[in-house]
A = this chain, B = another copy of it.
Amino acid sequence: MFIELDLQSDTPLYTQLADQLTEGIASGELKPGDPLPSIRRLAEDLGINLHTVNKAYNLLKQEGLLQVHRKTGVIVQPDGMPGVTEAFEAKLRRQLRSLAAAAAVRGMAEEVFAQESKSVYRDIITNRGGE
């Protein structure tokens, strides 16, 4: 799986990494049970620090997307992905709210905003680059 980090971005490296791994799982490129590179290995490949990768892995572990086994290494959650919890719904709505307000104030219509959402979602599932 190809991962690209933008050092200039205002999004933290560990967040970028976690996001891209999440996309990989969502698209099916990474399947349940698939092994991920070791912390040190991935850090080496990406040219970043061990702890930054560790932070991203742990974030996804907290969310239930990864399992981290001592010595066995890190694998994609094989026992079923987490569902849409109340907490997740609330968080999603909160973040969507910020985006929707910015879109609405610029005159982007409701249907266009919804269509953008649908389009972006599909883009991830069909494993396209993004544009």
Interface window among A36-44, A47-55, A67-75, A93-101: A93-101
| A84 and B96 contacting across the interface, CB-CB below 8 Å | no
| B97 and A130 contacting across the interface, CB-CB below 8 Å | yes
Residue A46 is within 8 A (CB to CB) of chain B in the complex: no
| B116 and A96 contacting across the interface, CB-CB below 8 Å | yes
Residues of B within 8 A of A103 (CB): 84, 92, 121
| B97 and A123 contacting across the interface, CB-CB below 8 Å | yes
Residue A25 is within 8 A (CB to CB) of chain B in the complex: yes
How many Å lie between the Cα of A124 and that of B101 in the bound state?
7
Closest Cβ–Cβ distance, residue A38 to chain B (whole Å): 22
How many Å lie between the Cα of A117 and that of B82 in the bound state?
21
Closest Cβ–Cβ distance, residue A13 to chain B (whole Å): 14
Residues of B within 8 A of A84 (CB): 103, 106-108
| A100 and B117 contacting across the interface, CB-CB below 8 Å | yes
Residue A3 is within 8 A (CB to CB) of chain B in the complex: no
